[in-house]
Structure 1
Amino acid sequence: MAGSSDDSATTPTPESVAASLKAIRNQIDAVDRQLVELMNQRASLATQIGKCKNDGNSEIFHPNREAEVFQNVLSHNPGPLDEVTVRAIFREVISGCRALQRMPRVAFLGPEHSYSHIATLTRFGETVEFVEVGSISAVFEEVLKKRVDYGVVPLENSTDGRIVDSLDMFVRIPQIKICDEIRMRIHHNLLANCEQSEIRRIYSKPQALSQCRNWLSKNVPNASLHEVTSTTAAARLVQSEPYTAAVASRQAGVKYGIQILCANIEDSSNNETRFAVIGSHHARRTGRDKTALMFTTPHNPGALADVLMVFKQNAVNITWIESFPSRETKGEYIFFVDFEGHLDDEKVAHTVREVGTHCQRIFVLGSFPLARVED
């Protein structure tokens, strides 16, 4: 009949769909076997690198080399996987291969699922021996006494500013170096196992409450705010107390079985915390690096201006400068400066030497690769 068509010839049957799925899944299985073979081949090569070092005390974390690896794989990524996904996959591949040489121990400000813990996972991956400690000073002490290889401490937050406890510890233990940085966008979430209108109390650490204060006052105006030691501690309280909520990470909500009522409740969409990876060495040059130092100046008019003029005259760009009072000397202020370049760059080395001639004290904290923001 004119205009008729045989739909059975074009409409897939259940049997043909099942056959197509099976064929595709067989191809996926074959690719997976190739992936496992290639990953183990990579792991064997990483083990050979460890044998070439032939020293159980050699550094096993090389931010400069890992930056090169990420740059290489991303430059050869045609898609459809996006950059974030490829980075996440290779982060764990690198983590596993690194551990074959020697399992690194990394200290962080706990508890588990705190933002410091998440930052540590973001940088080192899962194949690490994590050492949870209760204070920033304890992270430094663990590194100093070589009970861990590295530590992760917060340096600054885009909303709340500098983390003085971390900066002060660099003064107290100047032999500890910054070997890498982690820039992480901080997303706070309202966690509760009741309706939003039923919330009477909200728990979190002071910084998290401060960073969400406007949102909380507008959306849960009848709830009282209560400070606790960490966002994870807040999530634990919600487990046992009815009609309460926590401002915490998504990971804490998953860990303790608490619903995420509202996500990303921070007042600033650019809420970012910068962490330092600390150890006994600084990283090698990558070509896209930063250097950090601390110094004190004489109590003379224009003393700080003299130091800053050195950076200007040498065309070295300062990316961060902070001052805070010394806990050792009354009336003395310590300046913390980040600037572009690496200590192995002659221009940077010359600048640091010249800066030193204008300072009473100077602490070179190290050079490290410029970090991207992790979301």
Structure 2
Amino acid sequence: MAKTPRKTSPTELKKSLAKIDQQILTLLGKRVDACQKMVQAEPGKTIEQQLSSEESELQALLKSNKSSLSPEALSPVLQEVLSLCRSASRRLRVAYLGPQYSYSHQAAVEKFGANADYSPVATIAAVFEEIQRNQADFGLVPVENSNDGRVTDTLEMFAKHPTKICGEVKLHIHHQLLAKCNREEIKEVFSKPQALSQCRNWLAKHLPAARPIEMTSTAAAAQLAAQKEGAAAIASRAAGVNYNLETIASDIEDNPNNITRFAVISHQMGPKTGNDKTALLFQTEHKP
């Protein structure tokens, strides 16, 4: 009669996990060292070229993945590894349409990781100005939304500034209803006009008596909801965590395929990758 295999005890499993974690740390250290040597070996390589190369390497790695982990699960982890290695040589300066915990901030972190210096600015024009004044290596600006169409302010800035697009981020926008009170106590709902518009049907059905009030950003709305009685905000989950708000309802956008496309801008374009896009912008005189 065959013996029943002995079950591994929790103590043994913890020791095994600790050993694996130590191996991960050791390998991360080796990768950081190798990246620093690579930067020293290619002194003429621009930041844009480095970022483009990293993006190509990431996509190739995801395609060759043979593990049980999905690309969606692996991608943010590998992005943070790249961000860590990059920052060991130089921390990138990234300007975005603020404030912190806005969707633009979320898209910037998704692209550049936690190991970058982020600079929130008040307007889209200010993002372009940060690039022109060399106060930022990269900027992140919204280009279009699947519901609301193109972002006119961004297109106008492209016509005025000799800025290059060197990347993009497609962010799935999921709006959360955040508050410190119960749903029955909500009298006002704050958010930026686009977010209120994108949740119009949900609000009419579930909060018909609540008054929608426009704000400059979703993050500012969350901050106000944390301070005012009977107030709720439509904002990101990260904003809710930061301002200690409860999620009253999740994913309340009327269109579940709500996507905003952001352009990554800089002084120069990166090298060709074989997976490139071309954007054309035409400007004509405003006359009959």
TM-score tier (shorter): over 0.9
Q: Is the 8 A contact 2:107 2:169 kept in 1?
A: yes
| Whole-angstrom distance in 2 between the partners of 1:77 and 1:330 | 52
TM-score, normalised with respect to structure 1: 0.73
1:99 aligned onto 2:87: yes
Q: 2:195 aligns to what?
A: 208
Q: Is the 8 A contact 1:60 1:101 kept in 2?
A: no
SS in 2 for 1:291: coil
| Whole-angstrom distance in 1 between the partners of 2:227 and 2:47 | 44
1:233 partner letter: A
Q: Select the residue among 185, 201, 207 that pairs with 1:220.
A: 207
- Structure 2, unmatched stretches of 5+, are none
Identical residues among aligned pairs (%): 41
Q: Is the 8 A contact 1:150 1:279 kept in 2?
A: yes
Describe how 1:125-136 pairs up with structure 2 within 5 A: 125-136=113-124
Deviations 1:196-220 (A, max 9, x none): 1221000000010011111111110
| Whole-angstrom distance in 2 between the partners of 1:163 and 1:192 | 29
SS in 1 for 2:114: coil
Describe how 1:214-293 pairs up with structure 2 within 5 A: 214-293=201-280
Q: Is the 8 A contact 1:64 1:284 kept in 2?
A: yes
- Corresponding residue pairs, total: 286
Instruction: Tell me how large the CA RMSD over aligned residues is.
Output: 2.0
Of structures 1 and 2, the one with the larger relative CO (CA 8 A, separation 6+) is 2
Q: 2:286 aligns to what?
A: 330
| Whole-angstrom distance in 2 between the partners of 1:88 and 1:256 | 24
SS in 2 for 1:293: coil
Shift of 1:285: 1.5
Gap change, CA 1:83 and 1:223, over 3 Å in 2: same
2:273 partner letter: T
1:122 aligned onto 2:78: no
More strand by share: 1
1:187 partner letter: H
| Whole-angstrom distance in 2 between the partners of 1:77 and 1:28 | 22
SS in 1 for 2:277: strand
Structure with max Cα Rg: 1
| Whole-angstrom distance in 1 between the partners of 2:116 and 2:52 | 19
Deviations 1:186-205 (A, max 9, x none): 00010012121221000000
Q: Is the 8 A contact 1:208 1:247 kept in 2?
A: yes
Q: Is the 8 A contact 2:172 2:257 kept in 1?
A: yes
Describe how 1:159-170 pairs up with structure 2 within 5 A: 159-170=147-158
Q: Is the 8 A contact 1:61 1:98 kept in 2?
A: no
- Structure 1, unmatched stretches of 5+, are 1-8, 11-15, 297-325, 333-375
Q: 1:176 aligns to what?
A: 163
Q: Is the 8 A contact 1:60 1:102 kept in 2?
A: no
